[in-house]
Amino acid sequence: MAHHLQPPRIIETSHISPPNGTVPSNTLSLTFFDAPWLTLPLGESLFFFPYQNLTDHFLKDFVPNLKHSLSLTLQHFFPYSGNLIIPPRPDPPYLRYTDGEDSLAFTVAESVETDFDYLKTDSTKDITVLHDLLPKLPPPHVSLYWMSLTKSNGSDPATLMLPSPPIHTCRDVIKDPGEVAAGHLERFWSQNSGNHGSHDSPENMVRATFTMSRNQIDNLKHWVTEQSTNESPVSTFVVTLAFNWVSLIKTLIEDNETEAKEEDKDEVFHLMINVDCRNRLKCTEPIPQTYFGNCMAPGIVSVNKQDLLGEKGVLVASNAIKARIKDMLSSDLLKTAPAWGEGARKWGNGVEIGLALEKEKMNAFASNLKQGINKFEM
């Protein structure tokens, strides 16, 4: 049974909003890219930063700076201060910010029994320990902007090299190609989904981070290129995703099913990848890189189980992923939207892969990963 930490001690709860008068009251409609997320649990992030001083110093000197920089950040990310309004059907949900009324909750809490030196490592750790610590944080773009202002220690934002502020005003160029949003809204209404917050973490789940070195990735790319009849180069993203997909499939099936059985040799496994659509939609106007909103298209990669478990499973997976990406990039993504249904991140010269599994399966995955990568050593 997983051990839960004592809940963090709440020191202070307040509300932060953009500086008064800097952002007019506003509403933002949801596009068909936003609508699917209404029925899904929210993603949650946990960041660790070193702070050497005592709690009193943190509360007196650092927290006021955090609040001030957050207020300035919300001036550019004002929807985070607003609310998702869900009117009676058939009117669609929308985002609303009211100047002088809406704000973002800001909570300061202290955990006294946590070993942060252990939590920040890549080693396997009980997922409930992380879940117990999780604050409600906004997505990375707003966090990056907020951190930049915090580091400035109150300097005038106009004098700083800050990330580009988001753009909220180009939503009209994203046209729904086939009542996609309406379909997601129907599911939202039918589920009576007013609760899309995080779920309790399941028992016996652990999280770990695995790192593939530059040399290991190059060996993989060399092997895939050598084995493939297609002379086009293979990317780091494709080979690392393919290798980890195959390793995960081997882990999830039972030990006595390492070889595909006759009766299930035609079983198909699916992998979902995401494509950034900002530069790839055929809209009347280009969608800027700093567009505020969802703009990702999912692509499903399907491969026969027998092929994935074969000697050239990584090659088969690589070719399938590469072909799916090529197909998505060469097609009109808006035309395929009515049929729409966490991978690798570059870190230094290698790639970092985060994964959550049951503890026994995580141990098996680590073993499969190590054995698998050793086969490609040169």
Rounded CA-CA distance 340/297 in Å is: 8
The predicted model scores a pTM of: 0.69
Size of the chain in residues = 378
Contacts of 201 (CB under 8 A, 6+ apart): 127, 128, 131
Tokens 């799916």 locate to: 324
For residue 375 the two structure tokens come to 């086969």
**pLDDT at residue 262, rounded to an integer:** 57
Q: Which of 264, 331, 269, 322 has the alpha carbon at shortest distance from 297?
A: 331
Kindly give the residue spans of alpha helices, DSSP state H, lying in 120-235.
127-133, 140-151, 180-190, 214-227
| pLDDT at residue number 93 | 84
Q: What is the pLDDT of residues 243-302, one digit of tens each?
A: 999 999 888 886 445 454 555 667 889 888 887 887 777 666 778 888 888 888 778 899
Q: What confidence score (pLDDT) does residue 316 get?
A: 95
What does the pLDDT read at residue 82? Answer: 87
Output the pLDDT for position 159: 45
Q: Are 49 and 150 in contact (CB under 8 A)?
A: no
pLDDT at residue 349 in the model: 54
- The reply to whether 205-374 shares the fold of 9-120+130-190 is yes
Amino acid at 52: Q
Enumerate the domain spans of the chain. 9-120+130-190, 205-374
For 138, residues 6+ apart whose C-beta sits below 8 A from its C-beta are: 77, 80
Are 52 and 132 contacting, i.e. CB atoms less than 8 angstroms apart? Answer: no
CA distance 320 to 314: 10
Query: What CA–CA distance (Å, rounded) separates 296 from 276?
Result: 5
Mean pLDDT of the chain: 76
CA pair distance 300, 340, nearest whole angstrom: 8
- Check residue 320 and give its pLDDT: 94
β-bridge pairing 344-347 and 94-97: unpaired
* Nearest-angstrom CA–CA distance, 169 and 24: 14
Decide if domain 9-120+130-190 falls under CATH 3.30.559.10. Answer: yes
The tens digit of pLDDT for each residue in 342-375 reads: 334 444 555 666 777 788 888 888 888 888 888 7
Q: What are phi and psi of 136, to 5 degrees?
A: -90, 105
Q: What gap in Å lies between CA 124 and CA 69, rounded to an integer?
A: 34
Which residues of the chain, if any, have pLDDT below 50? 1-2, 136-147, 149, 158-162, 193-194, 197, 255-256, 258, 260, 337-347
Q: Which of 197, 200, 163 is nearest to 77 (CA)?
A: 163
Q: Of the candidates 282, 252, 284, 254, which has an alpha carbon nearest to the alpha carbon of residue 269?
A: 252
Q: Are 321 and 242 in contact (CB under 8 A)?
A: yes
Task: Enumerate the β-bridge partners of residue 95.
Answer: 28, 84
Q: What is the pLDDT of residue 117?
A: 76
The CATH architecture one would assign to domain 205-374 is 2-Layer Sandwich (3.30)
Which residue from 145, 111, 146 is spatially nearest to 131, judged by alpha carbons?
111
Provide the CB-side half-sphere exposure for 49 (13 A, CA). Answer: 9
**How far is 270 from 307, CA to CA, in rounded Å?**
13
Among 312, 303, 321, 325, CA closest to 228: 312
Helices 140-151/63-74 angle, 10° precision = 130
